[in-house]
Chain A
Amino acid sequence: MRTDVTIIGAGQAGLAMSHCLTEDGIDHVVVERGSTANAWRTERWDSLRLLTPNWMSRLPGFQYQGSDPEGYMTASEVGDYLDRYRASFDAPVHDETSVDQVTPTDNGFEVETSGGRIDSRSVVIATGACGSPHIPAVAADFPTQTRHLSPIHYRNPDEIEGPVLVVGASASGAQIADELARAGHNVTVAVSNHVRLPRRYRGMDIHWWLEKLGILDEHISDVDDPLKARRTPSLQLVGSPEGRDLGLNELQSSGVRVAGRLAGVADTTVQFSGSLANVIHSADLKQNRLLDRCDEYAEASGLTHELVAAHRPAATSVEALPLTAHTGDFATVIWATGFRPSYPYLPEHFLDAKGGLPQNEGVTDQRGLFILGTTFGTRRNSSFLDGVGRDAAALAGSIRCDLERQLSASAFGGR
Chain B
Amino acid sequence: MNNLGIIDSYVTPNTPEIARTWPKDFVDFFKRIGRVKAVEGLPIKEMIKEMDRVGIEKVLLNAIDTQAFSIPNEVVGEIILQYPSRFFGCAMIEVTRKMGGVRELERLVKKYGFKAFKLIPSYLNLPPNDKIYFPYYSKCCELGLTVQVQVGRTNLPFLNEPGRPAYLEEVILFFPELKIIGSHIGYPWTDEMIVLAEKYENVYIDTACYNPSTFEDTFVNFLKGRGNKKVLLASDWPVAEFENYIKEFMDLHLSEETMVNILRDNACRAFHLT
Asked whether A and B interact, the reply is: no
- Interface positions of B (Cβ within 8 A of A): none
